[in-house]
């Protein structure tokens, strides 16, 4: 009798591609399993005319999948780690974080090859306060226009000339075979990635020890360490959709390089910092970096954002 494994996944093309990727990986190691997907449309996928900051945050891309796990309607759930809030349900855990794709942002345009080549006052489509904050600081003349929907929907809007360019995660484009649409990979020095960007996480019930052990085979130690550092930084900052914040860690030869930032949505104030240390201090590095930014003015940034209730001219979301 074949063992059955049920995978909960969002119903978007990218999410299904990622879930099938995990399915195929598991079948390689466990060919006697019967593994099938359970596509689920989340609340975050259905509300496209409002920012996530106003309807509850990026965790809305997870809620229905987590309910499926808790109600034993699925055995595991597949998530993009950039969509995972820093505070998790204790009844659930991430059994594995798979090897990371490229974590950087991508500039996509049908007429311009880079951010620097854009004309004055060009219109940029983005769904991220993080991206908006950093790119306004780099090019204050640019005009940012909200952009929701899956990757294909956003590309169609670009092709209909509603924007001069749009910004997306490079990993998603790569996984969908859309590398040819990328005009420029934006350096981290211009746009620091979102916490967890480019990585896929496998979530399961915390008490399901057999599943946890079996899934460890897909865990990538390097990626796990990097994501742990990034999430520690964001957790200490208590970051969410309302706050332009980014973190990016790179582990090489047991040395971890962690960068982080927090800023105002209009790009007028941005605080940067970094840490370099050994891999056994990843959480401490994240907390220490966040503490440094607090001391340098992050509290004032958070206070100002909260007072203004995210009342910015170009409404966006950070995910």
Whether the model clears a pTM of 0.95, i.e. scores above it, the answer is no
Q: Of 310 and 186, which is predicted with more confidence?
A: 186
Asked if 62 and 84 count as a contact pair (C-beta separation under 8 A), the reply is yes
Lowest mean pLDDT segment, chosen from 126-135, 147-156, 310-319: 310-319
Tell me whether the CATH fold assigned to 3-98+199-219 matches the one assigned to 233-308.
no
Lowest mean pLDDT segment, chosen from 53-67, 138-152, 201-215, 288-302: 53-67
Stretch 51-73: mean pLDDT, rounded? Answer: 76
Please state, in angstroms and rounded to a whole number, the distance separating the CA atoms of residues 23 and 3.
14
Position 319 confidence tier, pLDDT thresholds 50, 70, 90: very low
The pLDDT tens digits of the residues spanning 226-268 come to: 999 999 999 998 766 678 999 999 999 889 999 999 999 999 9
Q: Is the pLDDT of residue 47 over 80?
A: no
Domain at 233-308, CATH class: alpha beta
Q: Domain extents for the chain?
A: 3-98+199-219, 105-186, 233-308
The pLDDT tens digits of the residues spanning 75-94 come to: 999 999 999 988 888 999 99
Q: Which two tokens stand for residue 314?
A: 């170009």
Q: Is the pLDDT of residue 313 over 60?
A: no
Q: Of 287 and 51, which is predicted with more confidence?
A: 287
* DSSP secondary structure, the chain, as one string: --EEEEEEEESSHHHHHHHHHHHHHHHHH-TTEEEEEEEE--HHHH--SS-HHHHT-GGGGTHHHHHHHHTTS-SEEEEEGGGS-SS--TTEEEEEEPPP---SEEEE-SS-SSSTTSPTT-EEEES-HHHHHHHHHH-TT-EEEE--S-HHHHHHHHHTTS-SEEEEEHHHHHHTT-GGG-SEEEPTTTSPPPTTTT-EEEEEETT-HHHHHHHGGG--HHHHHHHHHHHHHHHHHT--TTS-EEEEEEEETTEEEEEEEEE-TTSS-EEEEEEEEEGGGHHHHHHHHHHHHIIIIIHHHHHHHHHHTT--SS-----
Share of the chain above pLDDT 90, in %: 79
Give the other-Cβ count within 10 Å of 111's Cβ.
Answer: 12
The pLDDT tens digits of the residues spanning 196-206 come to: 999 999 999 99
pLDDT at residue 132, rounded to an integer: 95
Active site amino acids = 83
Stretch 129-144: mean pLDDT, rounded? Answer: 96
Stretch 29-58: mean pLDDT, rounded? Answer: 73
Asked if 199 and 172 count as a contact pair (C-beta separation under 8 A), the reply is no
Stretch 307-312: mean pLDDT, rounded? Answer: 48
Lowest mean pLDDT segment, chosen from 86-90, 190-194, 220-224: 86-90
Query: What CATH number matches the domain at 105-186, 3.40.190.10, 3.10.290.10, 2.60.40.1080, 3.40.50.300?
Result: 3.40.190.10
Please state, in angstroms and rounded to a whole number, the distance separating the CA atoms of residues 112 and 127.
20
Asked if 181 and 23 count as a contact pair (C-beta separation under 8 A), the reply is no
Domain at 3-98+199-219, CATH class: alpha beta
Stretch 275-302: mean pLDDT, rounded? Answer: 93
Q: Which two tokens stand for residue 138?
A: 């780099």
Stretch 53-69: mean pLDDT, rounded? Answer: 74
Lowest mean pLDDT segment, chosen from 32-46, 184-198, 304-318: 304-318
Q: Which phi and psi angles does 103 have, rounded to 5°?
A: -90, -5
- Treating both helix axes as pointing N-terminal to C-terminal, what angle do 151-159 and 13-29 enclose, rounded to 10 degrees? 140
């Amino acid at each position: 009798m074949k063992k059955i494994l049920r995978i909960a996944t969002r119903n978007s093309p990218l999410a299904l591609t990622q879930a099938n990727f995990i399915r195929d990986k598991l079948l390689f190691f466990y060919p006697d399993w019967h593994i099938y997907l359970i596509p689920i449309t989340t609340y975050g996928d259905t509300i496209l005319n409002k920012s996530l900051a106003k309807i509850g945050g990026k965790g809305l891309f997870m809620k229905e999948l987590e309910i499926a796990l808790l109600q034993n309607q699925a055995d595991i759930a597949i998530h993009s780690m950039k969509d995972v809030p820093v505070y998790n349900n204790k009844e659930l855990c991430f059994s594995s974080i798979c090897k990371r794709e490229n974590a950087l942002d991508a500039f996509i345009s049908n007429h311009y090859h880079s951010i620097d080549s854009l004309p004055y006052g060009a219109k940029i489509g983005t769904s991220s306060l993080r991206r908006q904050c950093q790119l306004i600081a780099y090019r204050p003349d640019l005009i940012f226009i909200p952009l929701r929907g899956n990757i294909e929907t956003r590309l169609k809007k670009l092709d209909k000339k509603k924007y001069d360019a749009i910004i997306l995660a490079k990993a998603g484009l790569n996984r969908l075979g859309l590398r040819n649409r990328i005009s420029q990979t934006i350096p981290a020095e211009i746009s620091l990635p979102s916490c967890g960007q480019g990585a896929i996480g496998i979530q399961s019930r915390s008490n399901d020890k057999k599943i946890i052990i079996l899934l460890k085979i897909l865990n990538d130690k390097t990626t796990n360490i990097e994501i742990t550092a990034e999430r520690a930084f964001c957790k200490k900052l208590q970051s969410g959709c309302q706050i332009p914040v980014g973190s990016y860690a790179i582990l090489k030869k047991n040395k971890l390089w962690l960068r982080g930032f927090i800023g105002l949505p209009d790009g007028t104030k941005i605080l940067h910092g970094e840490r370099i240390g050994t891999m056994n201090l990843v959480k401490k590095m994240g907390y220490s970096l966040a503490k440094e930014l607090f001391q340098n003015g992050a509290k004032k940034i958070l206070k100002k954002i909260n007072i203004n209730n995210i009342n910015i001219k170009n409404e966006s979301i950070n995910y």
